[in-house]
Structure 1
């Protein structure tokens, strides 16, 4: 079986004959941060296994908010998305060390709570299965707050949720609203909020007498980018952090439009997610507000190029993406 780096290299070879830094990881065995063998950085981002993370210190008053059974265990069992992409969650150049902004923020929160983080990467749907079953105390996995999810889960926000349309570098095309994607072939990941927005935009186009969006789905990130490079799709709609990382690392694409992950009417927010009434959300929010105040939060976002998505305060269960 090929390693993640071998699989990624094969995908890049098909993308172009010109040398590339990398393509970002994805929901496949190509989930590394990219880079040729020996590469330690993509743009200014360190993708090596020796991360020298920003660490926090236990704050007794905040740690006391953690339910007694979790304090007694001493570990914080956290789910992360196996299909996340750089710079959110991906494998370092050693193909085994999990790194990324979501990992760093989770470690910082765990430090503040005086707990040892215990990570497990699972598929997107199994993040929620893990919360439902009690397997996970929380998820740091680029989860957007939605009104539907708030019925089963509690949220403590830690980043703005923005999504982006990524297209080939030479296109003369920008996306500001539904009309700009009418008749276009756009790839998106199934079950995501960006898919919901794209489906809604397609319906708006049809209602206005315009062509619907030709929505495409693939299994792997490498498949999305191969389709984009070959012209089989016009753009890929995904999380802004991943798109920005891929633009910086591969050099073949550009961002042609950005918007809130919650749609036009609301600024979406990404949040630490826990089972409703688990008793952990207050601890998460307090820990996040502490690290926001002491500056360590800003250092984490800066090192991953995400300063533009910082929140001023962590909010518990704010207004989320409306129900369909």
Structure 2
């Protein structure tokens, strides 16, 4: 049975509408009811093959007939982006939906493989995965090894226990706090940068914490073991809506203060696939199917107008 939840719209506030992209407090009361189908019967949008777009594929990939899609959502996943359905095995969410639709336009059979975040990149490096669809932010460092085509804006959210009475707008606001973040993510780079700024200012140091799953992170937040969690805005909003035990206390661009972060489909650099992915995504946008996919997961505020291949990403100096 579909699960009815309320997701915070303010969690996806565009950073350019804020002060140089700095965090702004979210309003947990500003919500919109949306019905999310968390069953294994997804009725995904699978467009018909577009011969013109499919012709952009390298011959060997077209002949293979399959598009192997890596999603780094092992364990509890990260709803509403990628997570297990009520049968505890079917991978559902916005990221699989977009990738499966891309495969349809390319005339390829989608093969979804759920893996850990670390193994996702190992799989891309080895060629095991043709495509990574896992809330991957474009960074200049990653562009050295991978090609990207953007399909969502990247916004982050600061999550605190409900009633914590904090607002995160600048590094000084996290001084002396225990903050959880995902290992190897771009939000980790941002948090480390903020923590270093706090230290340089002579304020109480930030203690950065790591957990294996989102579930463990949220349990730690609820029990008071940590003060804050910095993670993708959609996942934070979903947590607020479905539990009522936490609240968004600030938002921030995934690429930092001066650049709007972009989420991208990812593939091994120079493997000849990225132009086909970009054309397929533009076709999805043109047909309206892209908007429908985002709408069903309440991610309309993170929509892009067109596919961008290897746009400016999180700078190397922001590591």
Give the TM-score of the pair, scaled to structure 2: 0.86
Closer/same/farther in 2, CA of residues 255 and 223 from structure 1, 3 Å limit: same
Asked whether 1:223 is paired with 2:187, we answer no
| Contact 2:91–2:114 (Cα < 8 Å) also in 1 | no
Asked whether 1:122 is paired with 2:104, we answer no
2:284 maps to: 291
Paired with 1:229 and 1:124, the residues of 2 have a C-alpha distance of: 24
After superposition, what is the alpha-carbon deviation per residue over 1:252-296, rounded to whole angstroms, capped at 9, x for unaligned?
111111111111111111111011111000001111111111111
| Secondary structure at 1:70 match in 2 | helix
2:67 maps to: 76
What is the deviation of 1:312? 0.8
Q: Which of residues 232, 240, 245 in structure 2 aligns to 1:239? A: 232
Paired with 2:193 and 2:107, the residues of 1 have a C-alpha distance of: 43
What is the deviation of 1:229? 1.1
Q: Is there any run of 5+ residues in structure 1 with no aligned partner, and where?
A: 1-20, 22-41
| Secondary structure at 1:148 match in 2 | helix
1:96 maps to: 89
What is the deviation of 1:249? 0.8
Q: Which of residues 141, 144, 149 in structure 1 aligns to 2:134? A: 141
| Contact 2:72–2:115 (Cα < 8 Å) also in 1 | yes
2:57 maps to: 66
What is the deviation of 1:132? 1.2
After superposition, what is the alpha-carbon deviation per residue over 1:56-92, rounded to whole angstroms, capped at 9, x for unaligned?
1211110000110010011111111133311111111
| Secondary structure at 2:203 match in 1 | coil
Q: Which of residues 260, 268, 271 in structure 1 aligns to 2:253? A: 260
What is the deviation of 1:43? 5.3
Asked whether 1:158 is paired with 2:184, we answer no
For CA contacts below 8 A with separation 6 or more, give which structure has more relative contact order: 2
Q: Which of residues 26, 38, 55 in structure 1 aligns to 2:46? A: 55
| Contact 2:138–2:312 (Cα < 8 Å) also in 1 | yes
What is the deviation of 1:244? 0.8
After superposition, what is the alpha-carbon deviation per residue over 1:145-191, rounded to whole angstroms, capped at 9, x for unaligned?
11011011100000011111111111221111211111111111111
| Contact 1:193–1:262 (Cα < 8 Å) also in 2 | yes
After superposition, what is the alpha-carbon deviation per residue over 1:188-221, rounded to whole angstroms, capped at 9, x for unaligned?
1111111110110011111122222111112222
Asked whether 1:185 is paired with 2:187, we answer no
Aligned length: 284
